[in-house]
Amino acid sequence: MEVRHLIDLADLSVERWEDITKLACDIRDHMDDYYGAGRGKILATLFYEPSTRTQMSFQTAMLRLGGKLIGFDDPGNSSVVKGESLKDTVRVVSGYSDIIAMRHPYAGAAMAAAMYSRVPMVNAGDGGHLHPTQTLTDLVTLRQEKGTFSGLTVGLCGDLKNGRTVHSLIKAMARFPGNRFVLISTPGLGVPAYIKEYMTAAGCPWQETDNLADAIPTLDVLYMTRIQKERFASEQEYIDQRGVYVLDAEKMKLGRVDLVVLHPLPRVDEITVEVDEDPRAKYFEQTEYGLYARMALIIRMLEGAAKLLEPCPKGSMHICANPRCITRTELYLPRLFDPSGKRLICRYCEDDFDPAERAIAEERMFFEEPPA
């Protein structure tokens, strides 16, 4: 199986997901059989944002496969602090390594990096956009704990707007038959429009609610998420949203006996510590499954040979409307869009806008008189 890059889990077929998750489960049961699968190979971890589980699980995965590590966990300790572009960093590091795992605060950064990497690039989280290896972790967890990827009612609670793990999981589970979603959030933290459109296009039923207690009795899986302080424009906006949804022992009494509670971690105050003792709470097991998922992924991606870089496509004159899109900081990147009716969808961050509406708005701003 040749895997060039993993930017979005949709880059792989459902059959590939099945293959990787089955391999992960076999690694779990026969760990010693896989030592040496990465011997002579080097993994580079480029983490532009803080991470505990994702970074350490990638590092542990490569070490348990017999490979080596290079990279940084703070851009302040690299040439990034000197102003080096993402392109230049990736071109250099891809000459030193056999595979790269990268986390970055801007949406679309992994796709941008893949355009300049001569080795397989793994998206370890790009802003509030996607987190495909966390979703592989979630799929391995569901295979072990529920025995199926289909026919499940999945509740997702918390910051569904900025939660890249939520976006990736929805896009994955919508590919399996019989699944439905219950989206539990405040109006200001609902899932982005493109995720709703994706579920609808996939024929996957979904509903929105702001009441966690009412939703729990209907769920097979509850995926809790924290309110992400780092994604808010101001401290007050964060304070207004935090603590709205808290899973505690009383709410757990409302859930089914076979409910599975997941969380990508870290948690802040959205799950009380008393829930940890409930056998339905599987978020710590989930982190261990993440190690096996990444070991399996590395094995499969190392089977793909490195290739010469292809010329970058010609860009558009338009500018992405998303201020957190990687094209707003790495200005050399070609601006790439796909049409969707009258709107354009940015290939990097998947944000969309109507170019005609924006032109009118910009014209009004240009001719408006400045305030006295």
54 a catalytic residue: yes
Which residue in the list 53, 118, 175, 343 is annotated as catalytic? 53
- Residue 295 CB burial class (10 angstroms; 0-12, 13-18, ≥19): buried
Nearest of 7, 220, 221 to residue 110 by alpha carbon: 7
Q: Which of 131, 180, 263, 335 is catalytic?
A: 131
Domain ranges of the chain: 9-128+289-302, 132-288, 326-367
Nearest-angstrom CA–CA distance, 118 and 98: 9
What is the DSSP annotation of 265-302? S--SSSB-GGGGGSTTB-HHHHHHHHHHHHHHHHHHHH
CA-only gyration radius of the chain, Å: 21
Query: Can 60 be counted among the known catalytic residues?
Result: no
- Of the residues 64, 103, 104, 167, only one is catalytic, namely 103
**Cβ-Cβ contacts under 8 Å for 140 (sequence gap 6 or more):** 21, 24, 25, 289, 290, 292, 293
Catalytic residue among 30, 82, 253, 342: 82
Residue ranges of alpha helices (H) inside the chain are 14-29, 53-64, 86-93, 109-114, 132-145, 164-173, 193-201, 212-215, 235-241, 249-252, 283-302, 355-367
Active-site hit among 54, 133, 135, 165 = 54
Q: Which residues pair with 45 in a beta bridge?
A: 71, 101
Tell the burial category of 78 from Cβ atoms under 10 Å away from its Cβ (0-12, 13-18, 19+): middle
CA 321 – CA 331 distance, rounded (Å) = 14
**CA-CA distance, 294 to 20, in Å (whole number)?**
9
Query: Are the folds of 9-128+289-302 and 132-288 the same?
Result: yes
Class of domain 9-128+289-302 as given by CATH? alpha beta
* Separation of alpha carbons 123 and 100, rounded Å: 9
Q: Is 280 a catalytic residue?
A: no
Residue 47 to residue 186: CA distance in whole angstroms: 30
Active-site annotation holds for 53: yes
Q: What CATH number matches the domain at 132-288, 3.75.10.20, 3.40.50.1370, 3.40.190.10, 3.80.30.20? A: 3.40.50.1370
How confident is the prediction along the chain (372 residues), in pLDDT tens digits per residue? 455 899 999 888 999 999 999 999 999 999 999 999 999 999 999 999 988 899 999 999 999 999 999 999 888 878 888 999 999 999 999 999 999 999 999 999 999 999 999 999 999 999 888 889 999 999 999 999 999 999 999 999 998 988 888 988 999 999 999 999 999 998 888 998 889 999 999 999 999 999 999 999 999 999 999 875 554 455 555 455 565 789 999 999 999 999 999 999 888 889 999 999 999 999 999 999 999 999 999 999 998 766 668 788 889 889 998 999 999 999 999 999 999 888 999 999 999 888 888 766 555 544 455 554
Hey, which residues does 338 pair with through a beta bridge? 345
131 is catalytic: yes
The CA-based dihedral angle spanning residues 86, 323, 244, 276, taken in that order and rounded to the nearest 10 degrees:
-10
Provide the pairing of β-strand 337-340 with 343-346.
Answer: antiparallel
Q: Are 146 and 32 in contact (CB under 8 A)?
A: no
| Cα diameter, the chain | 74
Q: Please, are residues 164 and 156 in contact by the beta-carbon 8 Å criterion?
A: no
